[in-house]
Amino acid sequence: MHRRLATALTASTLTLGTVLGAASAAEAAPADKPQVLASWTQTSASSYNSWVAARNNQSAWSAYSFDWSTDYCSSSPDNPFGFPFSTSCARHDFGYRNYKALGAFSANKSRVDSAFYEDLKRVCARYSGASKSACNSTAWTYYQAVKAFG
């Protein structure tokens, strides 16, 4: 009796282990997650545009388990003086949160901060004259803040 019970428990444990092991493997992010993350955190406009497209279709990227959460520009205004910086701040948060989750933050922080600054400058490029100067000055201030305190 004890032998049959022990055999049944062992078989059940092995079956459960196989099912749980398969579930863990299915939930694992694809091997190219670091490359995808890197492609979305470059300084170029094409990197920014690719990230925005992915953000707008997050369900297509669900296998990667990216952290899309954001507090936008944290304790700074998201749209200082009317300049729309919130999407740039969201991409910056995306880079920080996902590189931290991969344990690769320190190796990528400088580039993510630089991408943030380039994003902000692209926002400012839509303006002219005094507005453009004010936007660029604000962008520089935001960049210096994340570079020093981010």
Torsion angles phi and psi, residue 25, rounded to 5: -65, -40
Structure tokens at 50: 């690719």
Catalytic residues: 92
Residues contacting residue 112 through CB under 8 Å, at least 6 positions apart: 41, 92, 95, 96, 99
**Cα dist. 17→6, 8, 61, 73, 134 in Å?**
16, 14, 28, 44, 60
Q: Are 92 and 146 in contact (CB under 8 A)?
A: yes
* Sign of the four-CA dihedral 63, 65, 69, 70: negative
